[in-house]
Structure 1
Protein backbone atom coordinates (compact mmCIF):
# COMPACT_ATOMS: atom_id res chain seq x y z
CA UNK A 1 0.00 0.00 0.00
CA UNK A 2 1.34 3.45 -0.91
CA UNK A 3 1.80 6.19 1.69
CA UNK A 4 -1.12 8.06 0.11
CA UNK A 5 -3.40 5.03 0.34
CA UNK A 6 -2.40 4.32 3.91
CA UNK A 7 -3.05 7.93 4.84
CA UNK A 8 -6.54 7.81 3.36
CA UNK A 9 -7.34 4.58 5.20
CA UNK A 10 -6.51 6.30 8.47
CA UNK A 11 -8.21 9.66 7.86
CA UNK A 12 -10.98 8.96 5.41
CA UNK A 13 -12.95 6.07 6.80
CA UNK A 14 -16.21 5.50 8.60
CA UNK A 15 -14.46 4.27 11.71
CA UNK A 16 -13.85 0.65 10.66
CA UNK A 17 -11.04 1.32 8.19
CA UNK A 18 -13.18 0.99 5.07
CA UNK A 19 -12.95 3.74 2.48
CA UNK A 20 -15.87 4.19 0.03
CA UNK A 21 -15.17 3.59 -3.65
CA UNK A 22 -16.80 4.76 -6.86
CA UNK A 23 -18.31 2.21 -9.21
CA UNK A 24 -18.37 3.60 -12.74
CA UNK A 25 -19.81 2.49 -16.06
CA UNK A 26 -20.27 5.17 -18.71
CA UNK A 27 -22.32 7.96 -17.18
CA UNK A 28 -23.39 5.79 -14.22
CA UNK A 29 -21.57 6.37 -10.93
CA UNK A 30 -22.29 4.93 -7.49
CA UNK A 31 -20.49 5.66 -4.22
CA UNK A 32 -20.46 2.44 -2.18
CA UNK A 33 -18.80 1.09 0.97
CA UNK A 34 -16.66 -2.05 0.57
CA UNK A 35 -18.77 -5.00 1.66
CA UNK A 36 -21.92 -3.19 0.56
CA UNK A 37 -24.49 -3.82 -2.14
CA UNK A 38 -25.72 -1.45 -4.85
CA UNK A 39 -28.78 -1.92 -7.01
CA UNK A 40 -28.58 -0.55 -10.57
CA UNK A 41 -30.64 -0.75 -13.73
CA UNK A 42 -28.01 -3.21 -14.97
CA UNK A 43 -28.31 -5.52 -11.99
CA UNK A 44 -27.06 -5.78 -8.43
CA UNK A 45 -23.43 -5.05 -7.55
CA UNK A 46 -21.96 -6.87 -4.57
CA UNK A 47 -18.80 -5.03 -3.51
CA UNK A 48 -16.13 -7.21 -1.85
CA UNK A 49 -14.69 -6.14 1.51
CA UNK A 50 -11.19 -6.08 -0.01
CA UNK A 51 -12.12 -4.27 -3.23
CA UNK A 52 -9.34 -2.10 -4.67
CA UNK A 53 -9.37 0.84 -7.12
CA UNK A 54 -8.57 -0.32 -10.62
CA UNK A 55 -10.47 -3.57 -10.31
CA UNK A 56 -13.59 -4.55 -12.27
CA UNK A 57 -16.68 -6.05 -10.69
CA UNK A 58 -19.81 -7.39 -12.36
CA UNK A 59 -23.49 -7.12 -11.60
CA UNK A 60 -25.43 -10.34 -11.17
CA UNK A 61 -26.43 -9.88 -14.82
CA UNK A 62 -22.81 -9.75 -15.98
CA UNK A 63 -22.37 -6.02 -16.68
CA UNK A 64 -18.96 -4.66 -15.66
CA UNK A 65 -18.24 -1.60 -13.50
CA UNK A 66 -14.82 -0.06 -12.91
CA UNK A 67 -13.72 0.65 -9.34
CA UNK A 68 -12.25 4.10 -8.72
CA UNK A 69 -10.79 5.71 -5.61
CA UNK A 70 -12.97 8.40 -4.08
CA UNK A 71 -11.67 11.90 -4.80
CA UNK A 72 -12.69 15.11 -3.05
CA UNK A 73 -14.74 16.60 -5.91
CA UNK A 74 -16.83 13.42 -6.04
CA UNK A 75 -18.45 14.43 -2.76
CA UNK A 76 -20.13 17.37 -4.50
CA UNK A 77 -21.83 15.04 -6.96
CA UNK A 78 -22.77 12.15 -4.66
CA UNK A 79 -23.77 13.65 -1.32
CA UNK A 80 -27.49 13.93 -0.63
CA UNK A 81 -28.34 17.63 -0.86
CA UNK A 82 -30.28 19.73 1.60
CA UNK A 83 -29.49 22.94 -0.27
CA UNK A 84 -26.88 24.31 -2.62
CA UNK A 85 -23.52 22.80 -1.55
CA UNK A 86 -20.26 24.73 -1.79
CA UNK A 87 -18.77 24.07 -5.21
CA UNK A 88 -15.34 22.42 -5.54
CA UNK A 89 -13.52 25.58 -6.61
CA UNK A 90 -14.73 27.44 -3.50
CA UNK A 91 -13.80 24.50 -1.28
CA UNK A 92 -10.34 24.62 -2.82
CA UNK A 93 -10.04 28.34 -2.11
CA UNK A 94 -10.98 27.87 1.55
CA UNK A 95 -8.48 25.07 2.05
CA UNK A 96 -5.79 26.82 0.03
CA UNK A 97 -6.17 30.22 1.69
CA UNK A 98 -6.19 28.82 5.24
CA UNK A 99 -3.69 25.99 4.74
CA UNK A 100 -5.92 23.38 6.38
CA UNK A 101 -3.95 20.18 6.79
CA UNK A 102 -3.37 17.12 8.93
CA UNK A 103 -3.78 17.75 12.66
CA UNK A 104 -5.74 21.01 12.38
CA UNK A 105 -8.91 21.56 14.38
CA UNK A 106 -11.65 23.37 12.47
CA UNK A 107 -14.82 24.99 13.79
CA UNK A 108 -17.50 25.32 11.11
CA UNK A 109 -21.09 26.49 11.00
CA UNK A 110 -23.75 26.24 8.32
CA UNK A 111 -23.04 22.56 7.61
CA UNK A 112 -25.74 22.11 4.99
CA UNK A 113 -24.91 19.19 2.72
CA UNK A 114 -21.49 18.92 4.36
CA UNK A 115 -19.22 19.10 1.30
CA UNK A 116 -16.86 21.62 2.93
CA UNK A 117 -16.66 19.75 6.24
CA UNK A 118 -15.98 16.44 4.51
CA UNK A 119 -13.35 18.00 2.24
CA UNK A 120 -11.53 19.55 5.19
CA UNK A 121 -11.60 16.20 6.98
CA UNK A 122 -10.15 14.49 3.91
CA UNK A 123 -7.33 17.06 4.05
CA UNK A 124 -6.54 15.72 7.52
CA UNK A 125 -8.42 18.11 9.80
CA UNK A 126 -10.71 17.32 12.72
CA UNK A 127 -13.96 19.25 12.22
CA UNK A 128 -16.72 20.37 14.57
CA UNK A 129 -19.63 21.69 12.51
CA UNK A 130 -22.98 23.18 13.56
CA UNK A 131 -26.27 22.87 11.67
CA UNK A 132 -29.49 24.44 13.02
CA UNK A 133 -31.93 22.23 11.11
CA UNK A 134 -32.13 18.77 12.75
CA UNK A 135 -33.14 17.08 9.50
CA UNK A 136 -30.27 18.70 7.62
CA UNK A 137 -27.88 17.70 10.38
CA UNK A 138 -28.96 14.07 10.14
CA UNK A 139 -28.46 14.09 6.37
CA UNK A 140 -25.01 15.61 6.91
CA UNK A 141 -24.11 12.79 9.31
CA UNK A 142 -25.18 10.26 6.71
CA UNK A 143 -23.09 12.09 4.12
CA UNK A 144 -20.05 11.99 6.41
CA UNK A 145 -20.43 8.21 6.66
CA UNK A 146 -20.91 7.96 2.90
CA UNK A 147 -17.79 10.04 2.35
CA UNK A 148 -15.76 7.96 4.79
CA UNK A 149 -15.08 10.79 7.26
CA UNK A 150 -17.59 10.13 10.05
CA UNK A 151 -14.73 9.62 12.49
CA UNK A 152 -13.28 13.07 11.71
CA UNK A 153 -16.41 15.26 11.53
CA UNK A 154 -18.59 15.97 14.56
CA UNK A 155 -21.92 17.22 13.19
CA UNK A 156 -23.75 19.03 16.00
CA UNK A 157 -27.38 20.10 15.84
CA UNK A 158 -27.72 23.63 17.14
CA UNK A 159 -26.86 27.29 16.81
CA UNK A 160 -23.15 28.04 17.12
CA UNK A 161 -23.85 31.53 18.49
CA UNK A 162 -25.45 29.90 21.54
CA UNK A 163 -22.39 27.72 22.19
CA UNK A 164 -19.65 30.33 21.82
CA UNK A 165 -18.88 30.77 25.51
CA UNK A 166 -18.25 27.07 26.00
CA UNK A 167 -16.22 26.80 22.81
CA UNK A 168 -13.97 29.70 23.78
CA UNK A 169 -12.23 27.32 26.19
CA UNK A 170 -11.07 25.33 23.16
CA UNK A 171 -8.55 26.32 20.53
CA UNK A 172 -9.22 25.98 16.82
CA UNK A 173 -6.82 26.47 13.94
CA UNK A 174 -9.46 27.58 11.45
CA UNK A 175 -12.99 28.99 11.69
CA UNK A 176 -15.16 28.53 8.57
CA UNK A 177 -18.57 30.20 8.28
CA UNK A 178 -21.32 29.85 5.68
CA UNK A 179 -24.26 31.39 7.50
CA UNK A 180 -26.17 34.66 7.67
CA UNK A 181 -25.10 35.43 11.25
CA UNK A 182 -21.40 35.13 10.43
CA UNK A 183 -20.56 38.68 11.66
CA UNK A 184 -21.68 37.82 15.21
CA UNK A 185 -19.40 34.78 15.20
CA UNK A 186 -16.45 36.64 13.71
CA UNK A 187 -16.55 38.98 16.72
CA UNK A 188 -15.47 36.01 18.87
CA UNK A 189 -12.75 34.77 16.51
CA UNK A 190 -9.82 35.96 18.69
CA UNK A 191 -11.17 33.87 21.58
CA UNK A 192 -11.80 30.81 19.43
CA UNK A 193 -8.62 30.69 17.35
CA UNK A 194 -5.01 29.87 18.12
CA UNK A 195 -2.45 32.56 17.41
CA UNK A 196 -2.03 32.66 13.64
CA UNK A 197 -5.35 30.90 13.01
CA UNK A 198 -7.58 31.80 10.08
CA UNK A 199 -11.20 32.81 9.55
CA UNK A 200 -12.86 32.01 6.22
CA UNK A 201 -16.36 33.38 5.59
CA UNK A 202 -18.40 32.55 2.51
CA UNK A 203 -21.38 34.72 1.54
CA UNK A 204 -23.49 35.03 -1.61
CA UNK A 205 -24.25 38.72 -0.97
CA UNK A 206 -22.17 41.89 -0.82
CA UNK A 207 -24.17 43.38 2.06
CA UNK A 208 -23.44 40.53 4.47
CA UNK A 209 -19.83 40.40 3.27
CA UNK A 210 -19.39 44.07 4.18
CA UNK A 211 -20.70 43.32 7.69
CA UNK A 212 -18.23 40.44 8.02
CA UNK A 213 -15.30 42.66 7.02
CA UNK A 214 -16.38 45.32 9.54
CA UNK A 215 -16.69 42.71 12.31
CA UNK A 216 -13.28 41.26 11.51
CA UNK A 217 -11.61 44.66 11.69
CA UNK A 218 -13.42 45.56 14.91
CA UNK A 219 -12.27 42.26 16.43
CA UNK A 220 -8.67 43.14 15.66
CA UNK A 221 -8.11 40.45 13.03
CA UNK A 222 -5.42 41.17 10.46
CA UNK A 223 -4.93 40.63 6.73
CA UNK A 224 -8.68 41.01 6.13
CA UNK A 225 -9.41 40.59 2.44
CA UNK A 226 -12.38 39.65 0.28
CA UNK A 227 -12.45 38.09 -3.17
CA UNK A 228 -15.34 37.36 -5.47
CA UNK A 229 -15.30 33.71 -6.45
CA UNK A 230 -15.88 33.62 -10.16
CA UNK A 231 -14.76 31.30 -12.91
CA UNK A 232 -15.55 31.19 -16.61
CA UNK A 233 -15.77 27.93 -18.49
CA UNK A 234 -14.20 28.02 -21.95
CA UNK A 235 -16.02 26.89 -25.08
CA UNK A 236 -14.14 25.41 -28.05
CA UNK A 237 -15.87 24.55 -31.32
CA UNK A 238 -15.45 24.88 -35.10
CA UNK A 239 -16.43 28.55 -35.02
CA UNK A 240 -13.76 29.56 -32.52
CA UNK A 241 -12.91 29.76 -28.85
CA UNK A 242 -14.50 31.96 -26.19
CA UNK A 243 -15.87 31.93 -22.64
CA UNK A 244 -19.13 30.02 -22.42
CA UNK A 245 -22.29 32.09 -21.98
CA UNK A 246 -23.60 29.50 -19.49
CA UNK A 247 -23.50 28.65 -16.68
CA UNK A 248 -23.01 31.78 -14.61
CA UNK A 249 -19.53 31.76 -13.12
CA UNK A 250 -20.23 33.80 -9.97
CA UNK A 251 -20.88 31.86 -6.77
CA UNK A 252 -20.18 34.27 -3.92
CA UNK A 253 -17.66 36.24 -1.87
CA UNK A 254 -14.94 34.73 0.29
CA UNK A 255 -13.48 36.78 3.15
CA UNK A 256 -10.24 35.64 4.79
CA UNK A 257 -8.77 37.07 8.00
CA UNK A 258 -6.08 36.01 10.45
CA UNK A 259 -5.75 36.06 14.21
CA UNK A 260 -2.36 37.73 14.61
Structure 2
Protein backbone atom coordinates (compact mmCIF):
# COMPACT_ATOMS: atom_id res chain seq x y z
CA UNK A 1 0.00 0.00 0.00
CA UNK A 2 1.22 3.49 -0.85
CA UNK A 3 -0.07 6.84 0.40
CA UNK A 4 0.28 10.44 -0.69
CA UNK A 5 1.88 13.08 1.50
CA UNK A 6 0.28 16.36 0.46
CA UNK A 7 1.10 19.98 1.30
CA UNK A 8 -0.08 22.86 -0.89
CA UNK A 9 1.13 22.03 -4.41
CA UNK A 10 3.52 19.31 -3.21
CA UNK A 11 2.65 15.63 -3.40
CA UNK A 12 4.81 12.60 -2.62
CA UNK A 13 3.91 8.93 -3.08
CA UNK A 14 5.48 6.73 -0.41
CA UNK A 15 5.00 3.37 1.27
CA UNK A 16 4.53 2.94 5.04
CA UNK A 17 7.87 3.16 6.79
CA UNK A 18 9.56 5.05 3.95
CA UNK A 19 11.48 8.24 4.69
CA UNK A 20 10.71 11.59 3.10
CA UNK A 21 13.51 14.15 2.94
CA UNK A 22 12.73 17.63 1.61
CA UNK A 23 13.70 21.22 2.27
CA UNK A 24 10.77 21.24 4.70
CA UNK A 25 12.40 18.60 6.84
CA UNK A 26 12.47 14.84 7.31
CA UNK A 27 9.68 12.48 8.31
CA UNK A 28 8.94 8.78 8.25
CA UNK A 29 5.59 7.55 6.96
CA UNK A 30 3.70 5.80 9.80
CA UNK A 31 3.56 2.02 9.59
CA UNK A 32 -0.24 2.17 9.66
CA UNK A 33 -1.12 5.47 7.95
CA UNK A 34 -4.66 6.85 8.03
CA UNK A 35 -6.11 9.03 5.28
CA UNK A 36 -6.63 12.55 6.61
CA UNK A 37 -3.98 12.17 9.30
CA UNK A 38 -1.47 15.01 9.71
CA UNK A 39 2.20 14.23 10.15
CA UNK A 40 5.06 16.63 10.77
CA UNK A 41 8.68 16.76 9.71
CA UNK A 42 11.44 17.05 12.27
CA UNK A 43 11.20 20.86 12.03
CA UNK A 44 7.43 20.93 12.49
CA UNK A 45 6.24 21.31 8.88
CA UNK A 46 2.91 19.54 8.39
CA UNK A 47 1.86 17.15 5.61
CA UNK A 48 -1.53 15.48 5.19
CA UNK A 49 -1.79 11.77 4.42
CA UNK A 50 -4.18 10.94 1.60
CA UNK A 51 -5.17 7.60 0.12
CA UNK A 52 -4.39 7.77 -3.60
CA UNK A 53 -6.94 7.09 -6.31
CA UNK A 54 -5.94 5.68 -9.66
CA UNK A 55 -5.62 9.06 -11.45
CA UNK A 56 -3.03 10.03 -8.83
CA UNK A 57 -0.83 7.17 -9.97
CA UNK A 58 -0.74 8.59 -13.50
CA UNK A 59 1.46 11.36 -12.11
CA UNK A 60 3.57 9.02 -9.98
CA UNK A 61 4.12 6.00 -12.23
CA UNK A 62 7.69 5.57 -13.46
CA UNK A 63 7.32 6.32 -17.17
CA UNK A 64 8.85 4.52 -20.14
CA UNK A 65 7.91 6.93 -22.90
CA UNK A 66 4.63 8.76 -23.47
CA UNK A 67 1.86 6.92 -21.57
CA UNK A 68 -1.75 6.75 -22.68
CA UNK A 69 -3.70 9.66 -21.22
CA UNK A 70 -6.40 8.88 -18.62
CA UNK A 71 -9.09 10.35 -20.89
CA UNK A 72 -8.19 7.81 -23.60
CA UNK A 73 -8.15 4.98 -21.06
CA UNK A 74 -11.55 6.16 -19.87
CA UNK A 75 -12.89 6.07 -23.41
CA UNK A 76 -11.61 2.50 -23.80
CA UNK A 77 -13.43 1.51 -20.61
CA UNK A 78 -16.61 3.25 -21.69
CA UNK A 79 -16.68 1.79 -25.20
CA UNK A 80 -15.66 -1.78 -24.34
CA UNK A 81 -17.56 -2.03 -21.05
CA UNK A 82 -14.57 -3.80 -19.49
CA UNK A 83 -15.21 -4.48 -15.84
CA UNK A 84 -15.57 -7.01 -13.04
CA UNK A 85 -15.21 -10.60 -14.15
CA UNK A 86 -13.81 -9.77 -17.59
CA UNK A 87 -10.59 -11.21 -18.94
CA UNK A 88 -8.62 -8.66 -20.95
CA UNK A 89 -5.74 -9.33 -23.34
CA UNK A 90 -3.58 -6.24 -23.74
CA UNK A 91 -0.47 -5.59 -25.82
CA UNK A 92 1.93 -2.66 -25.65
CA UNK A 93 2.00 -2.32 -21.87
CA UNK A 94 4.42 0.61 -21.79
CA UNK A 95 4.09 2.48 -18.51
CA UNK A 96 0.98 0.43 -17.70
CA UNK A 97 -1.68 3.15 -17.60
CA UNK A 98 -4.35 1.36 -19.65
CA UNK A 99 -3.77 -2.00 -17.96
CA UNK A 100 -4.03 -0.28 -14.57
CA UNK A 101 -7.36 1.34 -15.46
CA UNK A 102 -8.71 -1.98 -16.73
CA UNK A 103 -7.60 -3.79 -13.57
CA UNK A 104 -8.96 -1.02 -11.36
CA UNK A 105 -12.36 -1.53 -13.03
CA UNK A 106 -12.28 -5.15 -11.87
CA UNK A 107 -10.93 -6.94 -14.95
CA UNK A 108 -8.16 -9.55 -14.92
CA UNK A 109 -5.51 -8.37 -17.37
CA UNK A 110 -2.85 -10.27 -19.28
CA UNK A 111 -0.55 -7.75 -20.93
CA UNK A 112 2.39 -8.18 -23.30
CA UNK A 113 5.37 -5.83 -23.54
CA UNK A 114 8.22 -6.48 -26.00
CA UNK A 115 10.84 -4.60 -23.97
CA UNK A 116 11.88 -6.55 -20.87
CA UNK A 117 12.94 -3.36 -19.08
CA UNK A 118 9.58 -1.72 -19.79
CA UNK A 119 7.80 -4.87 -18.62
CA UNK A 120 9.65 -4.87 -15.30
CA UNK A 121 8.95 -1.17 -14.82
CA UNK A 122 5.25 -1.78 -15.43
CA UNK A 123 5.23 -4.58 -12.85
CA UNK A 124 6.67 -2.15 -10.29
CA UNK A 125 4.02 0.42 -11.20
CA UNK A 126 1.26 -2.14 -10.65
CA UNK A 127 2.78 -2.94 -7.27
CA UNK A 128 2.65 0.76 -6.34
CA UNK A 129 -1.01 0.89 -7.29
CA UNK A 130 -1.84 -2.36 -5.45
CA UNK A 131 -2.96 -3.93 -8.73
CA UNK A 132 -0.26 -6.57 -9.14
CA UNK A 133 -2.67 -9.41 -8.37
CA UNK A 134 -4.96 -8.31 -11.21
CA UNK A 135 -2.32 -7.81 -13.94
CA UNK A 136 0.05 -10.39 -15.38
CA UNK A 137 2.87 -8.86 -17.41
CA UNK A 138 4.61 -11.03 -19.97
CA UNK A 139 7.71 -9.88 -21.81
CA UNK A 140 7.27 -10.70 -25.47
CA UNK A 141 5.52 -9.81 -28.73
CA UNK A 142 1.87 -10.84 -28.73
CA UNK A 143 2.01 -11.33 -32.50
CA UNK A 144 4.53 -14.12 -31.97
CA UNK A 145 2.71 -15.56 -28.96
CA UNK A 146 -0.85 -15.92 -30.25
CA UNK A 147 -0.57 -19.61 -31.15
CA UNK A 148 0.98 -20.60 -27.83
CA UNK A 149 -1.55 -18.45 -25.98
CA UNK A 150 -4.43 -20.23 -27.71
CA UNK A 151 -2.83 -23.58 -26.91
CA UNK A 152 -2.86 -22.63 -23.23
CA UNK A 153 -6.61 -22.21 -23.46
CA UNK A 154 -7.17 -25.64 -25.00
CA UNK A 155 -4.81 -27.61 -22.76
CA UNK A 156 -6.32 -29.68 -19.96
CA UNK A 157 -4.64 -27.50 -17.35
CA UNK A 158 -4.82 -24.32 -19.43
CA UNK A 159 -6.59 -21.07 -18.80
CA UNK A 160 -10.27 -21.71 -19.51
CA UNK A 161 -10.86 -17.97 -19.92
CA UNK A 162 -9.17 -17.95 -23.35
CA UNK A 163 -10.63 -16.57 -25.57
CA UNK A 164 -10.90 -13.16 -23.91
CA UNK A 165 -13.75 -10.73 -23.31
CA UNK A 166 -11.75 -7.66 -24.38
CA UNK A 167 -8.67 -7.12 -26.55
CA UNK A 168 -6.76 -3.82 -26.27
CA UNK A 169 -3.77 -2.92 -28.41
CA UNK A 170 -1.25 -0.07 -28.46
CA UNK A 171 1.37 -1.52 -30.81
CA UNK A 172 2.75 -0.85 -34.28
CA UNK A 173 1.79 -4.35 -35.43
CA UNK A 174 -1.80 -4.04 -34.20
CA UNK A 175 -3.30 -4.88 -37.64
CA UNK A 176 -1.64 -8.32 -37.54
CA UNK A 177 -3.25 -9.05 -34.16
CA UNK A 178 -6.61 -7.65 -35.28
CA UNK A 179 -6.59 -10.12 -38.18
CA UNK A 180 -6.62 -12.92 -35.61
CA UNK A 181 -8.95 -11.27 -33.13
CA UNK A 182 -11.85 -13.66 -33.91
CA UNK A 183 -9.70 -16.43 -32.39
CA UNK A 184 -8.87 -14.32 -29.34
CA UNK A 185 -12.29 -12.90 -28.49
CA UNK A 186 -15.48 -14.47 -27.25
CA UNK A 187 -18.62 -13.91 -29.31
CA UNK A 188 -19.58 -10.29 -28.67
CA UNK A 189 -16.12 -9.52 -27.30
CA UNK A 190 -14.78 -5.98 -27.69
CA UNK A 191 -11.68 -4.66 -29.45
CA UNK A 192 -9.96 -1.33 -28.80
CA UNK A 193 -6.85 -0.17 -30.66
CA UNK A 194 -4.96 3.04 -29.89
CA UNK A 195 -2.63 4.71 -32.38
CA UNK A 196 -0.89 8.10 -32.50
CA UNK A 197 -1.03 8.09 -36.33
CA UNK A 198 -4.01 8.28 -38.63
CA UNK A 199 -2.36 6.05 -41.28
CA UNK A 200 -2.12 3.20 -38.78
CA UNK A 201 -5.76 3.75 -37.84
CA UNK A 202 -6.83 3.10 -41.42
CA UNK A 203 -4.80 -0.14 -41.46
CA UNK A 204 -6.53 -1.29 -38.27
CA UNK A 205 -9.99 -0.55 -39.69
CA UNK A 206 -9.18 -2.47 -42.86
CA UNK A 207 -7.88 -5.41 -40.81
CA UNK A 208 -11.03 -5.38 -38.67
CA UNK A 209 -13.21 -5.46 -41.79
CA UNK A 210 -11.18 -8.31 -43.28
CA UNK A 211 -11.53 -10.23 -40.01
CA UNK A 212 -15.31 -9.94 -40.17
CA UNK A 213 -15.66 -7.79 -37.05
CA UNK A 214 -18.72 -5.61 -36.65
CA UNK A 215 -19.64 -2.24 -35.15
CA UNK A 216 -16.30 -0.84 -36.33
CA UNK A 217 -15.80 2.78 -35.29
CA UNK A 218 -12.75 5.04 -35.64
CA UNK A 219 -12.41 8.16 -33.50
CA UNK A 220 -10.01 10.97 -32.85
CA UNK A 221 -9.76 12.01 -29.20
CA UNK A 222 -9.78 15.76 -28.65
CA UNK A 223 -10.37 17.57 -25.37
CA UNK A 224 -10.09 21.28 -24.58
CA UNK A 225 -9.56 22.88 -21.19
CA UNK A 226 -11.49 26.00 -20.26
CA UNK A 227 -10.02 29.18 -18.80
CA UNK A 228 -12.38 30.57 -16.17
CA UNK A 229 -11.68 34.01 -14.68
CA UNK A 230 -13.43 37.25 -13.73
CA UNK A 231 -13.64 38.33 -17.38
CA UNK A 232 -15.45 35.23 -18.56
CA UNK A 233 -14.98 31.67 -19.72
CA UNK A 234 -13.32 30.55 -22.94
CA UNK A 235 -11.39 27.59 -24.38
CA UNK A 236 -7.77 27.58 -23.29
CA UNK A 237 -5.16 28.46 -25.90
CA UNK A 238 -2.57 26.38 -24.02
CA UNK A 239 -1.78 22.73 -24.57
CA UNK A 240 -2.70 20.28 -27.30
CA UNK A 241 -6.26 18.98 -27.38
CA UNK A 242 -5.51 16.00 -29.62
CA UNK A 243 -4.00 12.86 -28.12
CA UNK A 244 -4.56 10.05 -30.60
CA UNK A 245 -6.87 7.77 -32.56
CA UNK A 246 -8.95 4.88 -31.31
CA UNK A 247 -10.64 2.08 -33.24
CA UNK A 248 -13.40 0.04 -31.61
CA UNK A 249 -15.08 -3.12 -32.88
CA UNK A 250 -16.95 -6.20 -31.73
CA UNK A 251 -16.58 -9.82 -32.66
Q: TM-score, normalised by structure 1?
A: 0.88
C-alpha change, 1:36 and 1:103, in structure 2 (3 Å) is farther
2:182 is aligned to 190
Deviations 1:134-161, CA, capped at 9 Å, x for gaps: 2111211111111111121111111111
Are 1:243 and 2:235 matched, yes or no?
A: yes
Is the counterpart of residue 92 in structure 1 residue 92 in structure 2?
Answer: no
Residue 249 of structure 2 is aligned to residue 257 of structure 1: yes
Q: Separation in 2 of the partners of 1:62 and 1:86?
A: 39
**Is the contact between residue 35 and residue 46 of structure 1 (CA under 8 Å) also seen in structure 2?**
yes
Task: Tell me whether 54-63 or 96-105 shows the greater mean CA deviation.
Answer: 54-63
Structure scoring higher RCO (CA < 8 A, sep ≥ 6) equals: 1
Q: CA deviation at 1:45?
A: 2.9
Q: Identify which range, 39-48 or 167-176, moves more after superposition.
A: 39-48
SS at match of 1:143: helix
Please, which runs of 5 or more residues in structure 2 have no aligned partner? Answer: 154-161
Structure 2 residue 23 is matched with structure 1 residue 63: no
Cα distance in 2 for partners of 1:57, 1:101 equals 36
Runs of 4+ in 1 over 4 A off after TM superposition: none
Moved more, 39-48 or 108-117: 39-48
Report deviation, 1:238.
4.3
Provide the alpha-carbon RMSD of the alignment. Answer: 1.4
1:26: which partner in 2? 8
Q: For 1:95, what is the secondary structure of its paired residue? A: helix
**1:206-221 to 2 correspondences below 5 Å:** 206-221=198-213
Aligned-partner Cα distance in 1 for 2:21–2:87? 37
Cα separation, partners in 2 of 1:73 and 1:240, compared to 1, 3 Å: same
Instruction: Give the drift of 1:246.
Output: 1.5
Please name the residue that 1:165 is paired with.
Answer: 147
Determine if contact 1:167/1:192 at 8 Å carries over to the other structure: no
Matches within 5 A, 1:97-116: 97-116=79-98
Q: Is the 8 A contact 1:108 1:129 kept in 2?
A: yes
Please, which of 106, 111, 115 is the counterpart of residue 129 of structure 1?
111
Count of residues in Structure 1 that have an aligned counterpart in Structure 2: 241
What is the alpha-carbon distance in structure 2 between the residues aligned to residue 38 and residue 154 of structure 1? 31
Shift of 1:239: 4.2
My pick for the range that moved more, 36-45 or 206-215, is 36-45
1:162 CA displacement? 0.8
Consecutive unaligned residues of structure 1, counting only runs of 5 or more, are: 1-18
For residues 106 and 56 of structure 1, do their structure 2 counterparts lie closer, same or farther at Cα, with a shift above 3 Å needed? same
1:152 counterpart = 2:144: no
Partner of 1:199: 191
Q: CA deviation at 1:60?
A: 2.8
1:241 shift after superposition = 2.6
**Structure 1, 202-211 or 187-196: larger mean CA deviation:** 187-196
1:176 equivalent in alignment to 2:168? yes
